[in-house]
Amino acid sequence: MKIIYKGFFKDNSQLPIGVLPKNAVKFKTPDTLYKQIAVSVITFIPAGLLVALFVLGAYLLHGDTSTVGFNGWGMAVVLLTFIPHEILHAICFGKGAEVELYARPPAFFVTCVKPLSKARFIFMSMLPNLVFGWIPLLIWMLLPYHGGASHMLFTASVFAILLGGGDYMNVFYTLQQQPNGSMQQISGINSYWFMPEEKR
């Protein structure tokens, strides 16, 4: 796997175009900002409910909600995860993949035209959110209150989860539209799925 930094993202013409099979099916995605916001809300509802369950778990374990709190150090930690977040995405494309990294303030994103299985694409999308969001939130829930350190961990994990909105949408589309046994490939700004035999 090789990461190539491509600088600031300006328009879709910068993105690599993949060689797709003839019968590749383009994912159906929202064509307006309002529809994109609607899908974001759909994906954030279960994420928000899960965060609430972690907070409830912390209360049941420790008897109070003193561990719930936000601070600036946690926000600083989140900023430091922006590049590692994209590196974790990139690693999942595997051996021989050329992954392009773009800066799109205030964050970054990666893209790669190498096809991935449905399960691997979902894992690729979720891995950074697990590493920087859900696993730290689990640790926060299990640990007793440690003042500012607890608030920093809570802040960093919750905001890392919230920043994964685009990843959750990708998983939502994949689960909703992509058949089992098929492959997914990014080409330009769009994603496509196809059955392996159609690639031959």
Share of the chain above pLDDT 70, in %: 98
Residue 200 has pLDDT above 70, yes or no: no
Domain ranges of the chain: 2-8+38-169
Q: Are 199 and 115 in contact (CB under 8 A)?
A: yes
Residue 198 has pLDDT above 70, yes or no: no
Q: What is residue 94's three-state secondary structure?
A: coil
User: What pLDDT, on a 0 to 100 scale, did the predictor assign at position 186?
Assistant: 97
How many degrees, rounded to 5, is the angle at CA 131 between CA 16 and CA 124? 30
pLDDT, tens digit, for every residue of 37-67?
A: 788 778 889 999 999 999 999 999 998 878 8
Share of the chain above pLDDT 90, in %: 80
Nearest CA-CA partner of 191 in 37, 44, 40, 24: 24
pLDDT, tens digit, for every residue of 3-14?
A: 999 999 999 999
User: What pLDDT, on a 0 to 100 scale, did the predictor assign at position 33?
Assistant: 61
pLDDT, tens digit, for every residue of 108-136?
A: 999 999 999 999 999 999 999 999 999 99
User: What pLDDT, on a 0 to 100 scale, did the predictor assign at position 76?
Assistant: 96
Q: Give 107-112 contacts, CB < 8 A, sequence gap 24+.
A: 107/82, 107/163, 108/82, 108/83, 109/9, 109/166, 110/3, 110/86, 111/15, 111/16, 111/186, 112/16, 112/186
